[in-house]
Every structure is written in C-alpha cells, then in structure tokens.
Amino acid sequence: MMHSLPLRVSRTLVLFAASSAAFVTAQSDPVPAAPIPAAPAPAAAGSASFGASQQRGVDYLLAHQQDGKFLQKDEPHVGVTALALAAVLTKPADLRNAEENAFVAAATDFLLSQQHDDGAFGEGTTNYQTSAAVLALARLGGERVKAPLQRAQKFLLGVQNSEANGHSSDDKDYGGFGYGPGSRGDVSNTQFAIEALRASGLPAGDEAFRRAVTFMQRTQNLRRVNDYRTEVAEEGSDEKHPVEPGDDGGACYLPGNSKFGFDVIADGVRVPRSYGSMTYALLKTYALCGLSKDDERMQAATGWIRRHWTLATNPGSHAGLDENAEYQGLFYYYETMARALTLCGIDEVETLGDDPETVAWRLQLAAHLEAIQRDDGSWLNVKNGRWWEDQPVMCTIYALLALGDCRHPKAE
C-alpha cells in the first residue's frame, strides 16, 4: 500500500516569506508529487471497520441497480455506475457476500464495455465519467483493468487545457479540466481528473500536475499567488464591476467565479466567495500535485478550513442567497472533505474561533453520517437537491465513499 501525504493541521499558520516574484518562478517549475493511496487499506476479516451503517448503504445501492448498472433518465449511466462501484468497493473483498461480488463483476463488465477507442468512458461529460471509471477500476485492480486505465489516462491528459490544445500559461483555463475536451476548467472537474490521473499510474513528476497547480491558484483567494482579474456584470444590468481574488485562503468554483456569489469590497470590487467543498477540492488537488505541508497555498487552505469547520452545512453562503443555499452540494462536501484530509494525512483539525477545539474528524464525520442515515439505508440532501443531491443513490454513494475514508473504528 502506498503512503499518505504527510500533512497535519498546525495550531498556527506558517506562511512563507517568499516574494510574489518567487512564486511566479515556482509556478513554472515541475512539482514533485508524493505517492497517493488509491483507496483506504483493506480491513482484516471480521474487523469493525465496515459497520452496520455502511452495510445498509451498500444494501440500498444493490437494491437500486439493474444488472450492474445505475440509470439516469431511464438509461444506463457510466459515471453514476462507476461511483456506485467505487462505493461498494469500500467494503473489503474478504467481507463481501455473493450478491455484492455479483454486482462488482457486472458493473465492471458494463464499465469496460463503455470505453471508446480514444480511451474515454461514457458520452457527453466524458471527463467526469472517465475519471469516475478510472477511480472505480483502480480500486478494483488486477491485470484486466491495466490496459483500459492506460487508455483512459491518455484521454484525460488530452482533456486538460494545455499547450497541446492551444492554451498558454496566461489563459485563465490553463491547467484546468472541464466536463470534456474543449471545456472551460473548474475546480470540481480538475480535482476529479487529477485524482484519476494519479490512480491510473501517471508518474508523479508529469507536467500535468504542474499545470493543474497553475489553474488551482487562480481559484484560490490568496492574492500573492492568484494573478487572475476579470469583470462581472450585475444581474439584470450591463454595468460591469472588477473581480479580484480575496485573501481568506479558500477556493471558489473557477477563476473569478463562485457558486456562492461575490462579496463586495472597496470601490465596488467583487471577490468570489470561498466555500467548503471547493476549498477541500483545492487542498486535495494541491496534495495530489505534490505541494508540501509548509507551502503557503496549503497553509492558507487549511487555515480557511480551521476557521470554517462544520458538518452542518457546506460553509461559505451569505445572507443574500436563498435560505437553503448553504446546503447545496452537502454530500459532495462530505466526500471531498474525507478524501482531502485522508490524502493529506490529517487526523485532527484544530479549529479557530471563539471556542477552538481539536476535532477527530473521522469519528465526528462518521457519527454524523450514521445519525442522518434514513431508515431504508440511504442518505438524502433534504434541504437542497442541487447537483443531483435530490437523488438518494447519489447521496448514498457520497456518504459511503466518505465513510470509507473515515474507516470508523466503532463497533456496531
């Protein structure tokens, strides 16, 4: 098994004293990436690391699959099937029953049948679906998936906005990934693709990781490293206002834009709001790309997390949004949180604020997910169904993936 990256949240932020010019130079240098675990370590037979809550979630998924497939709009969907397979694979192989093994075999057969000659999986949102397929197949392992993973890796490298497809380093989308070839980049697709590239076996020093760091910097509210400036028009008006990065260390959805809106600062300047799921996605991607725990960008992101620690909402909303906006993407937030903290080797989060505490996040997140699980074994975002979280299958997948990284030790 490969080792986790050695990052822990410290009580005080340690910021580099490097100048802005030094960071410009650093951006063009290859980023040495450390090994990454493809999945949580298998548990010993009979261990308590796969609890009753997880089993109920797996049972729910199996009850809603059709011959190894999951549907969207009455059609088999590669991305959802792949994520469901990855979720079921959080149960150790030596603990799986015959029904679960049959699903794993059928879902694997379906996924492999859906790979195109160019290495992509699925249709339309091919980056998302290919990344999902890679992460599931990499968890499965074995000789059968080696060649498909290599073809998928080649496809994903071609999706990245890079010199090879006409992007220069000063383009806002440079280094990012969108939903498919030619798409504008965003943090969600980029973090997903970068994890898939690592899982597919792409060498740690590959230029794809350096390019991804350049893109992610332009989504981080950290002025010393974010060089992106733009304009935005008021809703219902042609009047434009300047958009600049803030300095809270968190991340937004894409350069100059946030799904949680903007803050207005001096002279009418807009700052895209940082929010939880994207800040964890930023931290995760930086770790995957090899940034050290002492890097200013990592320190700033963990600082935001320490100031905004919560499981109640996806933090970052503000009063001007809909009253349920803070719940959008909540289960995606849980999954991304668990994956980021696991990859970074963070066992405890030392929060900042009026009532600081040391949080054993695995225990707290697992207990929270167990508490909100529904009687039928599923999870559901009952406050905000945006981004497919009105579907119990999707929320259950995210919850199981999060619990897989928690590896909750409490016997059930």
136, part of any domain:
yes
In order of 120, 172, 192, the CA distances from 189 in angstroms are 15, 15, 5
Contact 269, 205 (CB under 8 A): no
* Per-residue pLDDT at 16 exceeds 60: no
Q: How many domains does the chain have?
A: 1
Q: Which two tokens stand for residue 195?
A: 């994890």
Give the DSSP H or E segment for 243. strand 240-243
* Per-residue pLDDT at 409 exceeds 70: no
Question: Who's near 213: CB < 8 A, 6+ residues apart?
Answer: 27, 31, 175, 285, 286, 289, 291
Q: Which two tokens stand for residue 149?
A: 């993973």
Task: Please name every residue paired with 257 in a beta bridge, in sequence order, or none if there are none.
Answer: 254
106, part of any domain:
yes
Q: Which two tokens stand for residue 330?
A: 């909540």
- Tell me the residue range of the domain where 78 lies: 20-406
For the segment 43-101, what is each residue's pLDDT rounded down to a tens digit?
333 344 789 999 999 999 999 999 999 999 999 999 999 999 999 999 999 999 999 99
412, part of any domain:
no
100, part of any domain:
yes
317, part of any domain:
yes
8, part of any domain:
no
d(CA 334, CA 211): 27
pLDDT band at 41 (very low <50, low <70, confident <90, very high): very low
For the segment 132-186, what is each residue's pLDDT rounded down to a tens digit?
999 999 999 999 999 999 999 999 999 999 999 999 999 999 999 999 999 999 9
The phi, psi pair for 2, rounded to 5°, reads -80, 160
Give the DSSP H or E segment for 366. helix 361-372
d(CA 103, CA 88): 9
For the segment 173-226, what is each residue's pLDDT rounded down to a tens digit?
999 999 999 999 999 999 999 999 999 999 989 999 999 999 999 999 999 999
Overall average pLDDT of the 25-44 stretch: 42
Write the CATH number for 190.
1.50.10.20
% residues pLDDT > 70 (the chain) = 87
1-5, 82-86, 116-120, 367-371 — which is least confidently predicted? 1-5
pLDDT for the residue 372: 98
pLDDT for the residue 36: 52
1, part of any domain:
no
pLDDT for the residue 38: 44
pLDDT for the residue 288: 97
For the segment 257-287, what is each residue's pLDDT rounded down to a tens digit?
999 999 999 888 999 999 999 999 999 999 9
For the segment 292-337, what is each residue's pLDDT rounded down to a tens digit?
989 999 999 999 999 999 999 999 987 677 878 999 999 999 999 9
3, part of any domain:
no
